[in-house]
A and B are shown apart, each in its own frame.
Chain A
Amino acid sequence: MSNIIDRRKNAKGKSTGNRQRFLKRVEGQIKKALPDIISQESIQESNTGGKVKVPIKSIKEPAFSHDPASGNKQIVRPGNDRFSEGDKIPKPKGSGHGGGRGKGSNSPEVSEDEFAVVLSREEFLKYFFEDLELPNMVQKFLENTESFENKRAGFIKYGNPSRLNIKTSYQQSLARQIALRGAFLAKFKKLEATLATTTDPVQLAALQAEIEKVKKQSNTIPFFEDVDLRYNHFEQIPLPTTSAAMFCIMDVSASMGYHEKDIAKRFFTLLYIFLTKQYLNVELIFIRHHTTAKEVDEYEFFNSKESGGTVVAPSLELMDKIIKERYSGGNWNIYCCQASDGDVWSDYDADECGVILRTQILPAIQYMAYIEISNHSRDSSLWRTYRSLEDENRFSMRKLYDVSQIWPVFRGLFKKEKAIPS
């Protein structure tokens, strides 16, 4: 008799393991495809979920086979509608694969050689930010390291003897002793009352023995019992060991066209995803500036349309002010990332920026990255000023203009390097 089994409730994902193995095999290709994806996709939106398609070339699985162009073959085909024996049909020119159906390059059919791997968001970001880190993190490595602080959290009944809290335990003991003694006392009084009224000598002796026993018991109430003991209790509160703050400064002046802003936003989006994904304790400070600088929240930073003329210095002043107010004291690893098209209102502004950077900001922070979104071959005045401050470890600057350059520049800025001895 046949056996009918409903397998629908069985575990799915029998192929998950094999899929992982396959992904491992094409890891190199996935990494290579990343820059393209950055330039095509709006990652800010896709950060929230969804899937990423990575086009890859399939791995070859060679086997001995015939060269399709070679040899003499007799091929049977169905549906003869016009041919007689001996008819000649010219071979298609330029195709060695006689008789094969050619596929146009724009054909929607995907051959086995090239297809898309659909990665989950998690998988994607894993490939994405591999080998990247915040530079110059001094001593206080952030990545997934957390320390704990013990905090008092009341008393518990079980614990380490060294944590015995004598005062509380004694309170418990006292209460117990009073309660027990009271009970014996009541019994004692009752027996005495009966004793007073009893005359029968046999009964009398029994009562006296009883009284004696109760007296004895009431005197032997133990001073401490296990139920009295109380121990100090501590709870472990995770503590950030190091704190990092990232200042994102974006120029939103009118000279920044749609394209420039788009690039800047993409860059900051990457930075934002990178930091929030890799580091638990990073504070992000967003500053937008045109003629005035303003600290904004994340939403406004990425979405606001406000614009105006260009003065850069106020943003740096604002940053300096915020550092002094909130992030002083040397407990913070401070980073700054500034994006601009390099256009400044006057050389004076650029000079002022240089001064602020040199005297106030750079000494206080770990690392600053400046990206200039422009395709001019001529260096802007801001670029020239910054150039004099450039320093391998502390201050990097890059120029980019094309979407496809974002990822390489980003990688260049945040590539894992050997930790600098502090």
Chain B
Amino acid sequence: MNTELYRRLFSNPTWDDQTLEAADEITSKIGRESLKLLTYPNQIEIVTAEQMLDAYSLIGLPTSYPHWKFGKDFVLNQNNYSKGRTALSYEMVINSNPCISYNMENNTTCMMVLVIAHACQGHNAFFANNYMFKDWTAADSIIDYMVFARDFILKCEEEVGHEEVERVLDAAHALMNHGVDKYRKPTKLSARQENERLKNLVNFKRQTYNELWRTVPKPRPIADGQFHRSFKFPEEPEENILYFIEKNAPTLPVWKREIIRIVRKVSQYFYPQGLTKVMNEGFATFVHYHIINEMYDKKLVDDNFMLEFIHSHSSVLYQPEYNSRYFSGLNPYTLGFNIFMDIKRICQNPTQEDKYWFPNLAGKDWLEEIHYAMQNFRDDSFILQYLSPKVIRDMKLFVVADNEDDDDYEVSAIHNERGYRKVRESLSNQYMREFYVPDIQVDRVDLHATSKLHLVHRVINERSLHNEEAKDTLEHIRYLWEFPVQLVSKNKLGINDKIFES
């Protein structure tokens, strides 16, 4: 390895193609050999600020279907950026195979190396190995699928006019959080397969159409109330509302069902990202920290580079305290990085306390344990499993109980012996999906008379629905379902709390 050459390249604050190639080569070598990372191949794209803004508003996908929502995000981001209110991120990475990462052109050499180590090794390895991503997303076909989605929606706009398509998209977007399968594996389809499936479906319907069926008398509804139960539809409640509407809306035309399906697929694709933010960022930070330090140890970068790196690294990890004016919640980078670093520490130098709390980690091979943690958890389980007393103490975490009926907040646990478990449990809960997405499920459809759709909201910890939002969202459901919709909030005793009708 030509140490001198690399050193010279990396100490020059302006970069060129050669620098990037070198950075990519070195980081993947260290990632592969020292950290044993398995990654997708990388596709590193250098973009301008403007292109980065585009990428922001297309939620990071290289292509997406047209919709005003993306335009709104663009206008918003552009405003904030041009006023200097927010900086753009240094990179953006897409869970695809090959793993596409956008790097900003105005990064310095140091930032470029950092970003390549962070995104192209850290995030990439996370996408490729974490169970959530492996189970729930299809990295090979997402780009392809988005091309299909765009073309399909453009075709619909041509055929039915763009207002109507927009209406459907608006409604489906409102239910995005409720368009996710949590327990069933989605099938992985490419654009070609998807097109074929559609074509076959239409063909089949056409070929098997028979006027006669219209004349067959419908079976009489069973009047006797006692059998009613067994004819409940759906038999089991369905939490994927979009899926349910797509499959069961009585009179929805095929193209609307397909649009709902597209939104559902996109939502599903982003589902793991929302649940692994702490882990993903923490792991990527952990990776870039190790790679750059090893580069320094091997004398591939000089002290200037290192100083700049340490500055950027610590800015990324900055965690304002609860009473700071900059405070805006826990920094996922910090929390994740601290936990991963602590796993390493516990493996290497366990204290008495660690041996008590983490008997399975103490003295083990740290790299193997890091890999295990990275592969088999998501944020809530990761925190529940690995948040150590030391991290709680270092970050001085404490729990505030906010009960609706009390006049005061109460500090219910702090970073002491009595509080560790409580802090850990509360923090884990905070990263559960139920914490921010209300639990709403399709209960039944009144098949016999009104086709009314009954939704049930299960109230957890007395947290009720936001009235306005619920009403507006219900309107959207009503539009998609095309028949009356009712949403009932049931408290923990199973008693109706609130009823929304549309």
A residues whose Cβ falls under 8 Å from a Cβ of B: 1-8, 10, 12-15, 17-25, 58-81, 83-91, 98-99, 101, 109-110, 112, 115-118
Contact = CB atoms under 8 A, between A and B. Distances in A.
A115 B72 CA distance: 10
B46 A65 contact: no
30 contacts: A1-B41, A2-B44, A5-B45, A6-B46, A8-B105, A12-B48, A12-B50, A15-B57, A19-B71, A21-B66, A22-B69, A23-B71, A59-B72, A63-B174, A63-B177, A67-B463, A71-B463, A73-B461, A74-B426, A76-B423, A77-B330, A78-B322, A83-B411, A85-B418, A87-B411, A88-B408, A101-B328, A110-B80, A112-B76, A117-B75
B75 A22 contact: yes
Contacts of A18: 57, 66-71, 74
Interface residues of B, number: 102
Interface string B84-103: 01000000000000100010
A13 B416 CA distance: 54
Given A77-B400, A79-B322, 9 more contacts: A7-B48, A8-B51, A59-B72, A64-B465, A73-B401, A74-B426, A75-B430, A78-B397, A88-B411
A95 to B, nearest CB: 12
Given A76-B426, A77-B400, A98-B409, A85 B419 contact: yes
A91 B170 CA distance: 37
Contacts of B427: 76
A3 B25 CA distance: 11
A128 B190 CA distance: 47
Contact of B72 (A3, A14, A58): A58
B303 interface: no
Interface of B: 17, 20-21, 24, 28, 41-48, 50-51, 53-54, 57-58, 66-72, 74-76, 78-80, 85, 98, 102, 105, 120, 166, 170, 173-178, 319-324, 327-328, 330, 395-404, 406-416, 418-419, 422-423, 426-427, 429-430, 436-438, 440, 457, 460-470, 472-473, 476
B174 A61 contact: yes
Nearest to A24: B68
A69 B404 contact: yes
Nearest to A112: B76
B122 to A, nearest CB: 15
Which residue among A24, A74, A99 has the maximum number of chain B CB atoms within 10 Å of its CB? A74
Given A2-B28, A61-B69, A80 B472 contact: no
B185 to A, nearest CB: 25
B426 A75 contact: yes
Contacts of A74: 399-402, 412, 422, 426, 429-430
Contact of A70 (B166, B404, B468, B469): B404
Top 7 A-B residue pairs of the complex, sorted by shortest distance between their CB atoms: A79-B321, A71-B463, A22-B71, A18-B71, A62-B472, A2-B42, A21-B68
A interface secondary structure, majority: loop
B79 A64 contact: no
A83 B398 contact: yes
A22 B321 contact: no
Contacts of A73: 401-403, 461, 463
Contact of B462 (A6, A70, A115, A118): A70
A260 B135 CA distance: 72
B400 A85 contact: no
A64 B459 CA distance: 13
A343 B272 CA distance: 74
A15 B80 CA distance: 16
Contact of B464 (A58, A70, A117): A70
Contacts of A10: 51
B201 to A, nearest CB: 29
Contact of B43 (A3, A23, A71, A75): A3
Contacts of B426: 74-76
A53 to B, nearest CB: 9
A81 B411 CA distance: 12
B55 to A, nearest CB: 8
A11 B341 CA distance: 42
A408 to B, nearest CB: 28
A191 B79 CA distance: 92
A12 B438 contact: no
A18 B74 CA distance: 8
Contacts of B440: 64
A78 B396 contact: yes
